Structure 1
Amino acid sequence: MSTHRRSTSETRPLLHDRPASYATSNPSDDDDSSQQTVSGSSLSKGDLVWVLAGLWSAVFLGALDGTIVATLLTPIGSYFQRSNQASYIGTSYLLSVCCFTPLYGRLSDILGRKGAMLLALTFFGGGTILCGVAPSMEMLIVGRAIAGAGGGGVMTVSSIAVTDLIPLKQRGLYQGMANILFGLGAGIGGPIGGWLNDSFGWRSAFLFQIPILAFSVILVILKVSIEMPVELKEESLHSKLRRMDFLGSATLVGTVGCLLLGFDLKTTEDMPWSDPLIYGLFIASAVFAILFVLVEKHWAPFPVMPLRLITRRTPLSVSLACFFGSISAFSMIYNVPLYFSAVRLNSSTDAGLHLLPHSVALSTGSVFAGWVMRRTGRLYNLTLISALFSVGASLLVTFWGAGSSQWNLWLDIVPQGFGMASLITTTLIAMIAGVAKGDIAVATGITYLFRTTGQVLGVSLSGAVLQAVLLSKLRQRIQGPDAEQIISSIRHSTDVIAGLEPTLKKAAVDSYADALRVIFICQVAMNVLTFLCCLPIQENPLPGTREEQEAQFRRNEANQEGNANADEADA
């Protein structure tokens, strides 16, 4: 394919003519645009509330589902007598979320926001129902994978739809409100899941979600009316399907899926790095990645991840900041409770309670960032300060030891939660503010892809490093005829530590402390990388009205086309 064709296909906006929906309003309508949605129809405050209720109830349900299922792993494993496979219930969902999240950006431009959201809810609901009636562990795992194919879409499409309706200067505040609902769902999911399991059995915890899902579907059908552009409405099914980058999507799924599955099997199954399955998956991921780049660069007329977008300064910086920041954040969330269980020998309940201040900080940090952006119309300095908050918190945690006060143990992680919540809000707005209107959906999907991939890797990589260091330290400290059996029991359950004789107990506690300190130091490194990735982010003004926002998107598109023409001339 010629250079000219490549350049035009990669830089052509999905909605080239900028129709009224998803794009700039007609100039003659600018005087009334503050009273309109992007589809050009009047939207009262009451209607906006119902639209947000439909979108955010789905977000709430996704968060609720995640923590409900986390509390059900043990009873489900015992029910099927397959406790060794219980972790795959969570893994299959997360892998599916990571693989399918970026696809919804393009789907929302083809099917419309309502169509894409309904597709995501259909997958999520179908998978959840299948889990509730699953006759075997294998079918339950398949059900969670199907639910994950919709779960990532729910988050992505809801974010895209809110961007359509809310000017960027106010967008961060609305994102903060959505994050509060997400935090509320995640917070009450565990207790609800445990109560439903104890009262009605674990299947009820899945089936209980269906009425909430039905409520979301009804609201989306009735109230979410962001229409598709006229030219897309008039296109044939064949033309619409041509807009889907099937080959790019398949190679992207292969890249992400093989990479995450390799790390997960290494951690979950305790396989060595030299195992053919592990390095085979990594090799396959590399091959798929090469194929993905070739497809996106040479053959895809409407790329699922346009290279001319992801290689630009702000989108690339935002993506990497979200990636490294999510690795650190989820490593912190999973390993701080382990510190209190294995080193402080606290109960599981007490260990979990130490995350409560962190959870509160997550909600307040996002709202605070939105409030600051709404008042100032700026985000660059706030982004850097947020990243530094996470660096500071991770440094404080590395100094935890026997002499640490209770104040430190309860509050040192608060700046991490506050800073990370603020960071993911500001970086999302920075991404949207720096792209053309036709790229908003795809750019949002890219942001969520890097974020969710970082979350899974944060858990998998920290688990692999922890086990490697822990095994080395335990073998140094515990020797004798039964050493390997004792070491194995200590590695696989922290509950046994309290019952060991004093010498072995000290060896176990010290080994966990050493291993977790390595993890905490790695978190510092990830947060420093996050800060460095934030430095190149461009400060774009945040429009406060629909007219200003549309004008900025026009400028972004003009700059994008100018850069593309310059690249074409150089070639």
Structure 2
Amino acid sequence: MPPSFRESEPDETRPLLGNDRADAASYTSSSSGTQRSLASASASEPPALNKISRTDLAWVLAGLWSAVFLGALDGTIVATLLSPIGSYFNESNRSSYIGTSYLLSVCCFTPLYGRLSDILGRKGAMLLALSFFGSGTLLCGLAPSMDALIAARALAGMGGGGVMTVSSVAVTDLIPLRQRGLYQGMTNILFGLGAGLGGPLGGWMNDALGWRSAFLLQMPILVFSYILVALKVSIKLPDEVESQPLHAKLRRIDVLGSFTLVGTVGCLLLGLSLKSTEELPWTHPVVWGLLLASVVFAVLFIWVETRYAPYPVMPMRLIKQRTPLFVSLSNFFGSVAAFSMIYNVPLYFSAVRLNSSTDAGLHLLPHSVAISTGSVFAGWVMRRTGRLYNLTLFSCLLTVLAATLVAMWNESSAAFHLWLDVAPQGFGMASVITTTLIAMIASVTREDIAVATGITYLFRTTGQVIGVSLSGALLQTVLTAKLRERIHGPDAVSVHSDSTHARAYRHSTTIIPTLAPELRQAAVDSYADALHVVFICQAVINFMCFLCCLPIQENPLPCVSQRVSLPRARS
């Protein structure tokens, strides 16, 4: 087999787009097994499948991005409504499952949409995702019980992950890859805007109209997105896919691989979630049983994808390749650290600084602004320079710096540190997510783009849930130990027991200001110690993300919407 372009270009810092003649000469001289140059490859490049006017592109992006905006908005709206919903149904102890069921569903079904977008087409897959998401959201607004609401959120999650994946794949089909990072930055701006507005909007809707309105009032935006996608999205796939009959396309669905993947991810995340939210010990049969089942499903999944599935949902040949593997791992570790910080920084200001919930949330505002700025900056740099490798490493180092600064917070930290130290985390991680997505797209052939994008989002969403679950479990473990060290005498009973009062110490920061001075100081110091450990772990995980970015390769790409399809060696 002729050597791949990636093999003939060992320098990871080579620009995405260089001088065509220089690239051709370099490729010709470095490929001993073939004399083909980039110029001849470009000459034989197939014509672009999807040419679209600016007006139609604007309508297509409006349909896709409105769904992305709504998905982000929905997530933070629901997070705000957990307490009111739990009180409404008199089941506050189960309110956390509203979020957990959605995230589990998103993680399990996100990678399936990569293959579905090849089978059903981009429009069909997006309409399917919007149908699941819209049906689940509508049923949430009409739910008669907590069980029905949890099930409806799981149904919404079946589409929520697909919205992000398919919209990303569709934009890749329409936008030249050199500009792809800039458009990804715009997508992240809308995602950040939706996430930022969700909290205050959800609170206002609950106070003014009731919690059900927060779900029902999403429907007009969903209908708007659905209509635009149905009318305007018309993306052609390669002839070998387009010409297949429906039954042949349906045979491409990897049913067994999908089932074992859902079992792997679902059992893992459910086990970690129960460990965190229910405070079950690791030795509890439910926890270790679910984790063991996840391992068994993982072994079966690898066997199915390697030996059995003709069209695997996660081709092992992609995961074995250098850049796709390390892009996936960097997205996983980066998401673990990012979501741990998003959830624990407000807790620091509530439990240690004793600020109000509103003030605690406002300290994430610089982080939200930095997310939008980092995405656009990364896209602009890649468009101007055609490079992403050094930008990726620099952005990763920013996240390490941010986590280190946050881990150094104490009672004497200056106010500007408390406000600005989180900003490099948002800026750096948004940039990393943008550049690594382009690196993933650049490292695979055109027919693998959809599946590779789905894999990227799988690792990203799995990291988000694990980041929240593991940081919560670590926080509660250290917090309980520190409280037992500091509180003695009669008051120790309320901490050492499993009573409702004991849970209040560890789960509600609102009780801390009402405690006696000695107890209040003990609680504040214990939370500070526990969060310090969590923040140190975040810095370590961000550094692991940096290490995973080192092997990522930078592949040159033509400045056209359809890339040159050069042969690639199998790993």
Alignment partner of 1:266 is 2:275? yes
Give the one of 493, 499, 509 matched to 2:508: 493
C-alpha separation in 1, matches of 2:239 and 2:393: 41
Aligned to 2:347: 338
Greater shift after overlay, 398-407 or 238-247? Answer: 238-247
Q: Give the 5 Å matches for 1:470-549.
A: 470-486=479-495, 487-546=502-561, 549=562
Ranges in structure 1 where 5+ consecutive residues have no aligned partner: 1-24
Cα deviation, residue 442, structure 1:
0.4
Amino acid paired to 1:150: G
Deviations 1:254-282 (A, max 9, x none): 00000000010111111111110000000
1:232 CA displacement: 3.5
Of residues 86, 95, 103, the one that matches 1:94 is 103
Q: Report how far residue 71 of structure 1 moved.
A: 1.4
Counterpart in the other structure of 2:61: 52
Cα shift at 1:27: 6.7
Q: Which moved more, 1:305-314 or 1:498-507?
A: 498-507
**Does the alignment pair 1:307 with 2:320?**
no
Q: Is the 8 A contact 2:79 2:199 kept in 1?
A: yes
Stretch of structure 1 that moved more, 233-242 or 70-79: 233-242
- Cα distance in 2 for residues equivalent to 1:530 and 1:465: 20
Separation in 2 of the partners of 1:377 and 1:386? 16
Runs of 4 or more above 3 Å deviation: 25-30, 228-234
What amino acid maps onto 1:193 in structure 2? G
Q: Deviations over 1:106-140 (max 9, x none)?
A: 00000000000000000000101111111111010
Provide the rounded CA distance (Å) in 2 between the counterparts of 1:95 and 1:469.
26
Aligned counterpart in structure 2 of residue 452 of structure 1, from 453, 461, 469: 461
Count of paired positions? 525
Is residue 2:563 matched to residue 1:550?
A: yes
Partner amino acid, structure 1, of 2:359: D
Listed one character per residue, the Cα deviations across residues 124-169 of structure 1 (whole Å, up to 9, x for unaligned) are 0010111111111101000000000000000000000000011111
Partner of 2:427: 418
In structure 1, the partner of 2:74 is 65
Cα distance in 2, alignment partners of residues 317 and 474 from structure 1: 40
8 Å contact kept, 1:378–1:540 = no
CA distance in 1, matches of 2:228, 2:382: 29
Q: Give 1:490 shift.
A: 1.3
1:2-13 alignment runs, 5 A limit? none
1-structure distance, mates of 2:528, 2:73: 32
CA–CA separation in structure 2 for the residues paired with 1:215 and 1:479: 60
Match of 2:368 in 1: 359
Query: Structure 1 length as normaliser, TM-score?
Result: 0.90
Preserved CA contact (<8 Å) 2:72 2:194: yes
Please tell me the residue identity of whatever aligns with 1:502: P
Q: Equivalents in 1 of 2:113, 2:504: separation in Å? A: 43
Contact 2:557 2:563 in 1 (8 A): no
Distance 1:503 1:193 in 2: 37
In structure 2, distance between residues paired with 1:274 and 1:179: 40
Task: Measure how far apart 1:231 and its partner are.
Answer: 3.8
**Residue 563 of structure 2: SS of its match in structure 1?**
helix
Residues 1:195 and 2:204 are matched in the alignment: yes
Letter of the 1:515 counterpart: A
TM-score, L = length of structure 2: 0.90
Task: Report the residue type matching 2:478 in the other structure.
Answer: V
Match of 1:4 in 2: none
Distance 1:506 1:170 in 2: 53
Distance 1:129 1:392, change over 3 A: same
2:311 is aligned with what amino acid? Answer: F
1:378 to 384, 387, 411: 387
Code of the aligned partner of 1:510:
D
CA distance in 1, matches of 2:533, 2:146: 35
Partner letter of residue 528 of structure 2? A
Report the Cα distance in structure 2 between the residues aligned to 1:26 and 1:397, rounded to whole angstroms: 49
Distance in 2 of aligned mates of 1:307 and 1:252: 13
Per the alignment, residue 244 of structure 1 pairs with 253
Query: Offset of 1:28 from its aligned partner?
Result: 8.0
The one-letter code sitting in structure 2 at the alignment partner of 1:405 is A
Question: Which letter maps to 1:342?
Answer: A
Secondary structure, in 3 states, of the residue corresponding to 1:302? coil
Q: What one-letter code is carried by the residue in structure 2 that aligns with 1:517?
A: H
The structure with the greater share of residues assigned to helix is 1
- Written as runs of structure 1 = structure 2, the 5 A alignment for 1:145-160 is 145-160=154-169
The one-letter code of the counterpart of 2:347 is L
TM alignment of 1:278-293, pairs within 5 A: 278-293=287-302
Q: Is the 8 A contact 2:264 2:294 kept in 1?
A: yes
SS, match of residue 344 in structure 1 = coil
Measure the CA separation in 1 of the matches of 2:340 and 2:486. Answer: 26
Q: How many Å separate the matches in 1 of 2:528 and 2:517?
A: 16
Percent identity (aligned): 72
How many Å separate the matches in 2 of 1:349 and 1:168? 41
- Say whether 1:133 aligns with 2:142: yes
Stretches of structure 2 lacking an aligned partner (at least 5 in a row): 1-40, 496-501
Which of 112, 126, 135 in structure 2 is aligned with 1:117?
126
Partner residue in 1 for 2:49: 39
Match of residue 13 from structure 1: none
Cα displacement (A) at 1:92: 0.4
